[in-house]
């Protein structure tokens, strides 16, 4: 029975994960900036957003705006950490992407297509960062 090291077991998958993780860092940076802009527009002008029916978790649109501004700023910082390949950047990227999924799930009644797109992109980010081992690339 021949033992293989983890580096030789899945080199193609690790290459894809490494490339996707760099893409994920750029994507996190872009999503962070877009969420900051989305939050600013919600805070600046409430009428820009569609007012939907009452929900259990409904907030004032201004409150949602501040949530997106803070989340966007944290996403930008995580993207910078992920670009440098730091461990804290990887952990923070997974955590903040998961929180972004929750926030955008709660944002679904207001902008369903935008929310679903961001949720899907965050799932890609979580997969890429979770499967990327820097010692194997």
Q: Is the pLDDT of residue 45 over 80?
A: no
- Parse the chain into domains and list their residue ranges: 40-48+59-136
Average of pLDDT values for 109-128?
84
Residue 102 pLDDT grade (very low, low, confident, very high; cuts 50, 70, 90): very high
Tokens describing residue 89: 């950047």
* pLDDT at residue number 70: 93
Q: Is the pLDDT of residue 95 over 80?
A: yes
Find out whether 92 and 83 touch, Cβ atoms under 8 Å: no
- H helices of 45-60, where? none
Q: What is the mean pLDDT of residues 68-94?
A: 88
Query: What integer is the mean pLDDT of 91-108?
Result: 88
Confidence class of residue 98 from pLDDT cuts 50, 70 and 90? very high
Residue 88 CA to residue 72 CA, distance in Å, equals 18
Does residue 96 contact residue 71 with C-beta atoms inside 8 Å?
Answer: yes
Which band of pLDDT confidence, cut at 50, 70 and 90, is reported for residue 74? very high
User: Percentage of the chain surpassing pLDDT 70?
Assistant: 72
Tell me the DSSP string of 75-133.
Answer: HHHHHHHHHTT-HHHHHHHHHHHHHHHHHHHHTTTT-HHHHHHHHHHHHHHHHHHHH--
Helix axes of 112-131 and 11-44: crossing angle, nearest 10 degrees: 140
* Residue 97: per-residue pLDDT: 87
């Amino acid at each position: 029975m021949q033992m293989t090291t983890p580096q030789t077991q899945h080199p193609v998958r690790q290459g894809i994960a490494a490339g996707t993780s760099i893409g994920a860092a750029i994507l996190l940076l872009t999503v962070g900036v877009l969420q900051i802009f989305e939050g600013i527009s919600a805070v600046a002008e409430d009428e820009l957003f569609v007012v939907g029916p009452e929900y259990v978790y409904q907030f004032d649109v201004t409150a949602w705006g501040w949530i997106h501004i803070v989340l966007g700023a944290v996403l930008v910082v995580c993207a910078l950490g992920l670009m440098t390949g730091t461990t804290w950047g990887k952990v923070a990227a997974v955590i903040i992407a998961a929180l972004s999924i929750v926030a955008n799930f709660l944002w679904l009644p207001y902008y369903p297509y935008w929310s679903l797109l961001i949720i899907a992109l965050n799932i890609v980010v979580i997969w890429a960062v979770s499967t990327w081992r820097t010692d194997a690339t």
